[in-house]
Amino acid sequence: MRMVRLAQAVFKGGGVKGIALVGGLAVAEELGWRWRAVAGTSAGAMVAALVAAGYPARALREIIHELDLRSFGDSSGFKVASLLLHEGIFKGEKLLAEVDRLLSERLRRPRVTFRDLPVACQIVATDLTHRRMLVFPHDLGRPPYSLEDPYGFPVADAVRASTAIPFFFQPYRLELPNGVRATLVDGGLLSNFPVHLFQPVGGPACMPTFGFDLRGGDDGPQATDTPLELVQAMVNTILSARDLSDRENQDYARVIPIETAPYRTTQFDIDAGGKEELYQRGRAAAEAFFADPATHAWLREFAVRRALRPLRRPLSV
């Protein structure tokens, strides 16, 4: 039996390519890693939420293989008309309902909130109304949101906001106490790989952060001959251009690069064979990462830091 070791995990956004995240996660868990805190954007937000609810990677793999991603395409009508009239081709209600169902089944309570999660979770969305990044749940308690109970916010709604790929899914509307309706879309517009959320303050980190990074798939030439192809190319360009600087390793974090080409962010018609290939890509990348002597040396640094931490003095009475 392996020793349980605690770490933090960040899951990059990538739409359908997010299937590969589960493969990488599976290897880490097989090596004994468990999660003190998680964060993610878009597809990474969905993975982070389910991991925070207690789903192990092996269960997520089963969910992925049983899930028909095309079912999330709950169109409001004709695609072009939906895009023009409803700000998105798909409503996103089926995605919201599925995440809500999975969270409720795991924790056995309706409408799971951030307070209900056994593992701390941060989810990133883009707030178009206030032109800023929104990190659930922490930012909800601060201006301009000022919700009375930010940790009572439903996790599935945060995932729905973070996964609202522009033009494909309709934006999420957040009603604020001051009467303003904030328009939220995919967090990947501003932070598709939010490793910075775990940047230590006031000293070196005593716990490693693993960043599961999805690379490739949207880099090749894309067709732009029809309006829908043009929209798809625009979305893939926007989402693939974010957070390139965060791909570099930091003292507190190491990146696990997962190659996903030729699969695309919005390839919702992916078949079972494609899902399995992405999963295995994630596994292979994580196996190489954890076998790397440089990774072993980096992890030893955390063991030394924990050993050298000063003991807490007993409280005087």
Active-site annotation holds for 68: no
Helix (H, G, I), strand (E, B) or coil at 223: coil
Closest CA to 212 of 3, 33, 4: 33
Ramachandran area for residue 202 (φ above 0: left; ψ -120 to 50: alpha; else beta)? left
Amino acid at 180: V
Catalytic residue among 157, 186, 218, 246: 186
Instruction: Output Rg (C-alpha) for the chain, integer angstroms.
Output: 20
Q: Which two tokens stand for residue 306?
A: 């924990």
What is d(CA 247, CA 131) in angstroms, rounded to the nearest whole number? 24
Q: Tally the C-alpha atoms within 13 A of residue 206's C-alpha that lie toward its C-beta.
A: 8
Closest CA to 185 of 237, 107, 130: 130
Beta-carbon contacts of residue 249 (< 8 Å; ≥ 6 apart):
255
What is d(CA 9, CA 103) in angstroms, rounded to the nearest whole number? 19
| E-assigned strand segments in 207-251 | 209-215
| E-assigned strand segments in the chain | 5-11, 33-41, 88-90, 120-127, 132-136, 167-169, 172-175, 181-186, 209-215, 253-259
Helix (H, G, I), strand (E, B) or coil at 53: coil
DSSP assignment string, 136-149:
ETGGGGSTTT--S-
Active-site annotation holds for 42: yes
Report, as residue numbers or ranges, the catalytic residues.
Answer: 42, 186
